[in-house]
Structure 1
């Protein structure tokens, strides 16, 4: 499988129904990272982690493995991107301990946050002044899915997440900066719970394989019943095969 294709789940728990697909021995993260090439850290949204924790995680995985890290809710939901310099600096100081295992930072926005050009300009200028790596943004208000918003994200090298379920049709395909594609599949028809069928898995594999040299991520977030792990293993198998 090409090194620029990343498949994983939101968190690295190993559900019992899929345990046989992972080698025995070691922590859950160590077992997970021997099979899947990437993971999304969602716990960073809810609470801070010590730099030593991030460093320990980085040391637990192979050199080719990558972590995506979700920005804290204090930035995206509480402050709604405004006046976020202090929590942003704290988060970046923590997550930098992942070193070269750090992949994209994920900016997931609340569904009520409308697109505001001045707000976006101010926040992304602040973030880009402190972080030069990969960025992915998952807006969830319909006002974000316009040519102007896409261009604004692209100007800061921010990929717009392709999400399922999609709030508008345009949200189903990657947007923004074209140097990265980032998919977040939350489960359908029941979010966080439903497994995806082979048709969606096959279509996603084709799309990711056709994206050329850019880094392509797909994270399954339908974790409530453990379906994310099975879907990630199926997608990885199709791409590798």
Structure 2
């Protein structure tokens, strides 16, 4: 069976304090706390700006040995450059400290804006640039430009490990057989995004793992998932995990539902016999 990772998108939310985070827990220990309850977390700050190697190293050290982060690719690449002229931006992204996560580096998530329509040539050129191993990523990072220097650069890896990539598109032009076939050709996971009907919800295997983002099924970013909905998602996750690894992240964070829904889904998948890694042990 594949390994199941279930968590949240980001972890620093003031509204969670006194709710998911116990009252009195200092902010600097929130990641430590969240990672003890969940099995993976998406790093969102990397989407908005290049982070520092020291930050990635700190996040690595504050989490359990068996923990995994997904890292969100920079919007400078996806939203501003729109996947074109990305040689230096990609090098800078991987040089900014992503590799400092070491064995805790999970999939890299690329989220495209709704206004970016599918273009086979553009997407193919970008997909071919993505490093598929940490050694390839380190070589790419070594070609960073002068925007990064000194302690802002981490362009090495302690071992050669595979790097997986996932794509969350928001233009319906990507929900075509041609685009999905191209994702499969490059072994890039098609993100199954639940967005209360706002953006495409495409359930298709295009890689050797599954990547799911749950933004809310009734209200985008706001609504929580009912017990019945979580039961249904648990059944789907368990079925997928019979043949591949599965990553699921709750992004319905506005009212604090995300971490509670993630914990509830973990418990349901465990009861079904799914392999969920948490706090140093595997549960079956």
1:51 aligned residue: 53
State the Cα distance separating 1:124 from its structure 2 match: 0.7
* C-alpha separation in 2, matches of 1:238 and 1:184: 17
Q: Does 1:41 align with 2:43?
A: yes
1:107 aligned residue: 110
Spell out the pairing of 1:1-241 with structure 2 (5 A cutoff): 4-13=3-12, 15=16, 16-19=18-21, 27-93=29-95, 94-128=97-131, 130-131=136-137, 132-165=162-195, 166=197, 171-177=201-207, 179-211=208-240, 212-241=242-271
* C-alpha separation in 2, matches of 1:187 and 1:77: 23
* C-alpha separation in 1, matches of 2:205 and 2:176: 10
Structure 2 gap ranges (5+)? 138-161, 272-284
Q: Deviations over 1:8-32 (max 9, x none)?
A: 0011237122235x9x687111111
* C-alpha separation in 2, matches of 1:235 and 1:13: 21
* C-alpha separation in 2, matches of 1:238 and 1:174: 23
* C-alpha separation in 2, matches of 1:176 and 1:149: 10
Give the TM-score normalised by the residue count of structure 2.
Answer: 0.78
Q: Is the alpha carbon distance of 1:61 and 1:3 closer, same or farther for their aligned partners in structure 2, counting shifts above 3 Å?
A: farther
Size of the aligned set, in residue pairs, is 237
State the Cα distance separating 1:43 from its structure 2 match: 1.0
Give the TM-score normalised by the residue count of structure 1.
Answer: 0.91
* C-alpha separation in 2, matches of 1:174 and 1:136: 12
Give secondary structure in 2 for the equivalent of 1:9: strand
Q: Check conservation: 2:216, 2:251, Cα contact below 8 A.
A: yes
Q: Is the alpha carbon distance of 1:50 and 1:90 closer, same or farther for their aligned partners in structure 2, counting shifts above 3 Å?
A: same
Q: Give the structure, 1 or 2, with the largest relative contact order (CA under 8 Å, sep 6 or more).
A: 2
State the Cα distance separating 1:174 from its structure 2 match: 4.0
Larger Rg: 2
Q: CA RMSD in A?
A: 2.1
Q: Check conservation: 1:174, 1:183, Cα contact below 8 A.
A: no
Q: Check conservation: 2:2, 2:244, Cα contact below 8 A.
A: no
